[in-house]
Amino acid sequence: MSLLREGQLIRGTYEVERPLGEGAFAEVYRVKHRFLGRQAMKVFKMVGMTMEETEQMLGEAILLSRIGHPNIVRVFDANVTETSRGTCGFFTMEYVAGGSLEQFWRSHGAQFVPVETAVEILRQVCRGLALAHAEVPPIIHRDIKPQNILVGYDQNGLQARISDFGLAKRVNPLTLLASARGTRSFKAPEALRDFQTDSAAGDVWALGCTLYLLLTDRLPYAGLGDTEAAADPGRFERPLIPPSRLNAKADAGLDQILFRALSLKPEERHPSARELLADLERWQPAGAGAPGARAKGSGLDESKSALGMHTPGDQRQAETMARQAVSLARERGRFADAADQMEEAFNKWPDLRERYANQVRLWRRGVAM
């Protein structure tokens, strides 16, 4: 049973609109603030949390929100509320209609994410994470993965934001690694051996895994779709396949960046997100930003299954949602709703991005064509 129900009013301020997803230790809902509009609400599954415990769990996220960075999700509020299971803590954050990077990646179906787009997303994530790593002492995310990166459009274009800062260290690491889909696949080798060795270099490893996935549709050091292999230390004995061997649009420069980010020895990796960002900023694309073709002999017969089962996109539903979004934009004061609807359509059929991405940027500015 879900913790909250649609239409439920939380503390007289938030109306629950619909569920957005569920993780190992929380459920996420789209809510409407009485005065401030649409937000996302994450409700912890742990029953009996006090206000003080909720604030403690969110300490680093709240700190980073106060510092402020466009590539880190802002946290607005934290409190407790009654749920179907009892009293649970929650927090609200900015709502990103495009959803997670996992959804963005899956939406490209049999095609790779364009190389330039993948690199730009990782640059943005590195910019946000570099701010956290520069704190004294450094703030370590500990659970960087596509599910914890949100991707949507603002007035300037595609915008990536990191979410869930500080939450990974507040839960039992054994539970987190066992039940959070994909988490083990993004943990550095040293962190799998010792849960106390999380570091900025460990976050860099996770960033490298994320970029590798975007470029190749598979995880480094693991077979396609082989999430169970993530628990096997022997997988690191196999050589890392260069991305350029799997994606014809990747090049030797990206190979070298990823070989360093995914070095098995933490001291040989980029020491923090800032140094990885510097490498990504220096990289220049060789050609146009079209989706990459699968390299000959890659042996990849399926796509987008590296993180579990993949549901194919629904073009008909996406086209219907796109038409509804265009209609919404014609109504007074509905540009934001139209943009949200269109971004959700993008994740069902990626061809719509090319047709409507510029329109969404204009809607985010409050401008109609």
Same domain, 138 and 257: yes
In 239-334, which residue ranges form alpha helices assigned H by DSSP? Answer: 252-261, 273-282, 315-329
Q: What does pTM read for this prediction?
A: 0.89
Same domain, 248 and 160: yes
Return the closest-CA partner of residue 139 out of 189, 42, 64: 64
pLDDT of 224 higher than 60:
no
Report the distance separating Cα 357 and Cα 331, nearest Å: 20
Residue 258 included in any domain: yes
Do the Cβ atoms of 105 and 112 come closer than 8 Å?
Answer: no
Domain with 329 in it: 315-364
Tokens (6 digits) for 320: 């219907």
Same domain, 201 and 162: yes
pLDDT, position 64: 83
SS3 35: coil
Same domain, 109 and 222: yes
In terms of Cβ atoms closer than 10 Å to its own Cβ (0-12, 13-18, 19+), residue 340 is buried
Residue 305 included in any domain: no
- The whole-number average pLDDT for the span 255-281 is 97
Return the closest-CA partner of residue 111 out of 239, 232, 289, 258: 289
Same domain, 134 and 29: no
Same domain, 130 and 250: yes
179: domain CATH number is: 1.10.510.10
Q: What amino acid is encoded at 117 in this protein?
A: T
Give the angle 220-226-230 at the CA atoms, nearest 5°.
65
- pLDDT, greater one: 279 or 225: 279
Same domain, 107 and 137: yes
Residue 108 included in any domain: yes
Same domain, 117 and 82: no
What angle separates helix 335-346 from helix 351-364, to the nearest 10 degrees? 160
34: domain CATH number is: 3.30.200.20
Residue ending a domain, among 94, 109, 141, is 94
Do the Cβ atoms of 96 and 66 come closer than 8 Å?
Answer: no
Tokens (6 digits) for 99: 């959803």
User: Structural domain tally of the chain?
Assistant: 3
pLDDT of 85 higher than 70:
yes
Same domain, 165 and 251: yes
Helices (H) and strands (E) in the chain, counts: 12, 8
Residue 304 included in any domain: no
In terms of Cβ atoms closer than 10 Å to its own Cβ (0-12, 13-18, 19+), residue 262 is buried
pLDDT of 100 higher than 80:
yes
SS3 132: helix
Same domain, 121 and 219: yes
Residue ending a domain, among 77, 94, 111, is 94
Residue 114 included in any domain: yes
Same domain, 89 and 105: no
Do the Cβ atoms of 285 and 272 come closer than 8 Å?
Answer: no
DSSP run (H or E) holding 42: strand 37-47
Of 43-57, 60-74, 195-209, 287-301, where does mean pLDDT reach its minimum?
287-301
Same domain, 341 and 199: no
pLDDT, position 287: 63
Residue ending a domain, among 50, 66, 94, is 94
